[in-house]
Structure 1
Amino acid sequence: MATVYTALDERLERTVALKIIHPAQSRDPHFVDRFTDEAKTIARLTHPNVVAVYDQGTHHGLPYLIMEYVRGATLREVLAERRRLQPQEALAIMEQMLAAIAAAHRSGLVHRDVKPENVLVAESPGDQHNLIDGVVKVADFGLARAVEASADETGSHLMATVAYVAPELVTDGHADPRTDVYSSGIVLFEMLTGRVPYEADRPVEVAWQHVDRDVPFPSRYVPGLPPQIDDLVARATRRDPGGRPTDAGAMLAEVQAVREDIGTAMNNRARPVAPPTVVVPRVESVPRMEPTSQMYQATRRPSWARLPASAPPQAVGRRHRTEPEPGGGMAGVLERINANPRTRLAVIAALLTFGLLVAVGGYWFGVGRYTDTPDLTTKTKEQAAHLASTAGFKVKFADPKFDTKIPKDQVLSQDPPPGGRILDGGTITLTLSLGPEVYKVPDIAGKVWDLAQVDLQAMNLVGNRADKFDDAVPAGYVVSTDPPVGTQVKPGQAITVFVSKGPNPVKVPLVVGKQVEQAKSDLARVKIQLGKVEEVDSDKPKGEVVAQSIGDGNSVTDGMVMDLQISKGPAQIPMPEVRGMPLDQARAQLEGLGLVVDAQGFGTVRQQNPQPNTPVVPGQHVSLFAFL
């Protein structure tokens, strides 16, 4: 809707951006006044993330704005270079975008055209590729509203960019702050995936996809994205405006929360694991003893707190040789136990107690502390989590897998399996089903056959080539597919790929002016099917072809059908009575009816052919005979 120039403000010696509206937008005599009002509203919008408006005026009747010049690139140019951004980068840009749009919403202004082209990313002083610390500014507040108001008066449609348009703008032309929230969600989707959610040949088809379909999760195209990102995009792009954040400020709060959650998770993964803090027993202070008791003091301390102590001094003196006592060793111990009945009973009781403890402990550690795992298979995710929680277990989810029998989001398998051993309060790992594995037929139109085969094989699909003539697509390039692009198909399914043979050397014949039977024969000869045959009023002879639906000279394509219009024949009128009239007057009357008059003689008409009231048609010859 405008052209932008860099210009020099000679008074303040600064570079500015000059945006001048295209002549086609300003034909409405009230447009300049409306544009001036919008410019005043935009100029009052002051925010660090909004491109400032310095002045406004007209040049040769064309309104213009003098705006802040942002040295950097548009978000569209950044995406063209980088294709897609990391989640932290995308959220950092989204925060500043929403801060600017929230300021507009607080002022009662709706942007209506949020898209990457209207988001400017200023160059960072240190690192031009550092998007997280870069400054982002939003431009063109209110311009779409001013231009659309003029377009509405001329009967045009709404001004919007279909890739980012909110459903309510398409259906009833209504816009409020939630409209900007939807467009911002689409911009976030594109930053994360490098593509917009919907594509089609015609803009109107793209616009209606926003009305009829839910925006897919970004993780569908970029696996590994955090689930918080999917939830954020889903909330911002709800088709029902009531399900979205109320304005850009509310969405900004959600973006900041998601960015903080992702940052915390990344920091936790990067931080080394610290040893846990434990409670240790208190060590009572012991009065200092003589060196002979240091070993005793050391043994009073816990094992982890014992200090090395010097050996006690050895008594210096004569060593006395001792004789070994009789009955030493294990045999002596057994002899002493058997000698005293009370000792024997005590030993037996101790052994029994020890054996009982070993048995109970073995049972507990081997069997007793375990329980049976509940069967959670074929349950939904919510049902499985509820049943596990009720039974006192925790659950975690492994990567989901495709399965042809188990519906999507139901439990496909679990570990431990149903009835397996698990500790009380243990964790059950669940694998959810993704449902039957399906693919979408890729858009391979316009590619050569070999490359189209590579694309199909990459998606586990089989391509069957079928050649056909096509005037628009060169020979060897793909024309279309059956099923069409975007249709969901199963792995290994055959796809018919129509490949162009180039223009058909057989051309459509001209059958206008021929009788319908001859036209049918000419069309059948070049394998064109005859479609609808319609009779129309015409001055041509009855049964003559007066129009054909496909012009002659076009190439004949497979299955071509042609409709024809044939003449009903000229309309009949009754021959008037002209006998007794002067010849000149009779001639004038008949020629006025479209008849061709053949007159003989002069004076008064005495005879005429055909006779009065006989049916005649325009162009028919009639004869008059006159004499005095």
Structure 2
Amino acid sequence: MDTQVADTLLGSLIDGRYRIRGRVARGGMATVYTATDERLERTVAVKIIHPTQAPEARARMAGFVERFTDEAKTIARLTHPNVVAVYDQGSHAGLPYLVMEYVRGRTLRDVLAERRRLSPDEALAIAEQMLAAIAAAHRAGLVHRDVKPENVLVAEPPTGGTTSLVDSVVKVADFGLARAVEASAEEENGNQLMATVAYVAPELVTQGHADPRTDVYSAGIVLFEMLTGRVPYDGDRPVEVAWQHVDRDVPAPSTLVPSLPPVLDALVARATRRDPAARPADAGALLTEVQAARDELGNPHSHTAVLRQLGDETAVIAQPTMVVAAVRPAERPAWARLPEGGGQRTHRRRAVEDEGLGARLAGLRTRIMGSPRGRLAVAAAAVVLGLVAAVGGWWFGVGRYTVAPQLVSLTKAEAEAQATRGGFTLRYAEPRYDEKIPKDTVLGQAPVSATRIVKGGTITLTLSLGPERLPVPDVVGKDFELAQAELTGAKLVPVKGSSRYDDALPAGVVLGTDPKVGTVVKPGAKVTVILSKGRAPVTVPNLVGKNLGEARNTLAQLGLTPVETYKDSDKPKDEILGQSPADGTGVEKGAQVKLDVSKGPAQVPVPRVVDLPCQQAKQVLESQGFPVNIQLNPNGVARFQNPGENTPVPPGTPVTVTCL
């Protein structure tokens, strides 16, 4: 009751249409609620994906929602009476949801928890409808990937009022959800196993590959569990259970429940072959075998016979099979009925044939066992058959097996050489990148080393591609959305950085990246994208050649700040020699404009000419580039000079000499 109160979705209205009424179940990926479709006034089931607190998972949610939506549309087109119908899909508070048919009943997991195991006729009846649903999906090009009792709903029968599971309606759920979640997990970790390990097919463990035969394997494990009350393998860790599917054959159900007939052992064995090529091609093919098994178990005259030629006579050993109460085709619900008449005609014809054959075999047995020679022949045949069975049992159980060699960490050439010496065949799975393992080194093998393998069998190797490195693509000059898509497609993480004005590129266009274009980085590295803000609002004027005071006034009027640097020059003092930014450049108000200002020409000291004859003084000054102004007596002696001796002045400064 406390959990119900704490659930904030209870009573809420989703998408203005679906009123949440109660919580049905909570699983690893989603929570299922009952809801009222207020538009059509019907009860529906709403499955909402759990929220996550991981930031990286939230970043991937957009891609997951897109895949989830595509899968929901595909499943909605899959119309079959044994498939839970999908009515609608959407997103609530950022979490994707499905609106599905509300099935009144229990999951097969609930049934098994209560009953532990089912009778053969009940197990086959449920398997038949389950496979009919999966076969419809296979015909539509879909693979369920997660067939298990939790995804099989056992509803009330159409007629109601009965507790027999044979007449119940079975529906399969979660086709699209399994595939959407698997795709997201692959992004997070390419080798993550999405199927439940108790029902996972060997090829999913070793290769991560799923096709219709993967669903056939899982359906065979579900049938095994219905017949025996347990799954074939368990372990302390999920990975241990998963690898048992790869390394071991599923045991016959009769080893756990001795009363089960051989036909059920054969059916489970066919569905759960470790080699996918040895299984039925899809759920439709397995459905045919299940229907044949139901017909055989429902025939009270069914038996097996062993005939052996002994000299001139024949020994016949008849072994009646277990008889179970099967539902005749006419008694099945309309949606699970076999073709009219065909099954009944088969039963009648088989019964007639079996009665005639039984009479002939009984007569032959009397004749053989009535003579000493016949009894001796039967005994000899029994001894021979026992020896053959013992040798065959040793061979199939022990003799044909060896152990897989250790190939992990070897180079490809070394692994091939060792496999050749051991007589093994190598097959290569899709290689993958690894930060620590060099290229063409074995990362993994299946089966793993020291496990049993048929002599001359096949070992699947996964090779390293070495550390994955990617160059930063050239996105300069592209819009941010296009650059973002290109960087994401290159397995990099785009991050929008600061923006700055640019005279050449319009606003929103990429100016540069950090790291720079062409830099080699790891997958998933962050790349900061620097964007243009367009042309700046203030244009820098041309100040070169102007006086410093004039330049200051011009910049002040534009709201710009001068930064002055004085340099030696033969230009007049305080004349602007250069500027940065150049004239015509766009800048913001308050930006700094660097000015190179002339210090003026370099000064030279005035030589002493006092006490020299006036004409000689004039010659000395003029020889050093000083214009001379003679006052009073040009033929006298220099008594005064201005500027005075050793005074630093600019070249060409006039010097006045007073002569007396």
Which TM bucket (shorter chain)?
0.3 to 0.5
* TM-score with structure 2 setting the length: 0.44
